[in-house]
Amino acid sequence: MLQIVYLSHLTSEMIDSGDQGHIDEILERAYQYNAKNNLTGILLYKGGVFLQWLEGEKEDVEKLYGKICLDLRHERITLLIKQDAEERIFEHWSMLYKKVEEIDLEKLKMNISWDQIVSDSRNNIKTSEEIIMKLLKAFKFQK
């Protein structure tokens, strides 16, 4: 099994035209596609930026990531983590979605802000995989 984490930005045209409608469309397609292809994961969103964890069979994950890279709604796509795994982290979620607020990160006692992760990605600075994984896993259990 393969797990990947990537960060991407909505295009400015998408943001200017109202991003929630586009996000709803992306989510609906993701739920259907992921369920059909036995993919699981989480999608976090804040201020025009997605952070997504995808997991499943290697060829299925790579195929979907390739489609995302070609999707004109996304730009500045950065692969942050790519790793083999024995078991799924989000086994019951074809696509867990969370709109992130800084208060969420404070509640989770994260030592990094969303803006820092985005800035690191823009500047080709590698954010700790441990921090990214901790952040994504924490949202799995957040109420």
Does 109 have pLDDT greater than 90? no
Confidence of residue 64 (pLDDT cuts 50, 70, 90): very high
The rounded radius of gyration (Å) of the Cα atoms in the chain is 14
> Cα separation of 143 and 129, whole Å?
24
- Per-residue pLDDT of 24-61, as tens digits, reads 877 888 889 999 999 999 998 888 888 999 999 999 99
Residue 108 pLDDT level (bands cut at 50, 70, 90):
low
Distance CA 49, CA 30 (A): 16
The number of residues in the chain equals: 143
| DSSP-derived 3-state class of residue 96 | strand
Tokens representing residue 87 in the block? 């078991």
Counting DSSP H helices and E strands in the chain, the numbers are 6, 5
For the chain, percent of residues with pLDDT exceeding 90:
33
Which neighbouring-strand residues pair with 98?
Answer: 44
Res 41: pLDDT = 92
Query: What is each CA distance from 21 to 25, 74, 76, 107, 137, in whole angstroms?
Result: 6, 15, 21, 28, 26
Q: Taken in order 143, 94, 126, 124, is the CA torsion positive or negative?
A: negative
Distance separating the N- and C-terminal Cα atoms of the chain: 28
> What pairs with residue 56 in β-bridges?
2
Residues ≥6 apart with Cβ < 8 Å to 72? 11
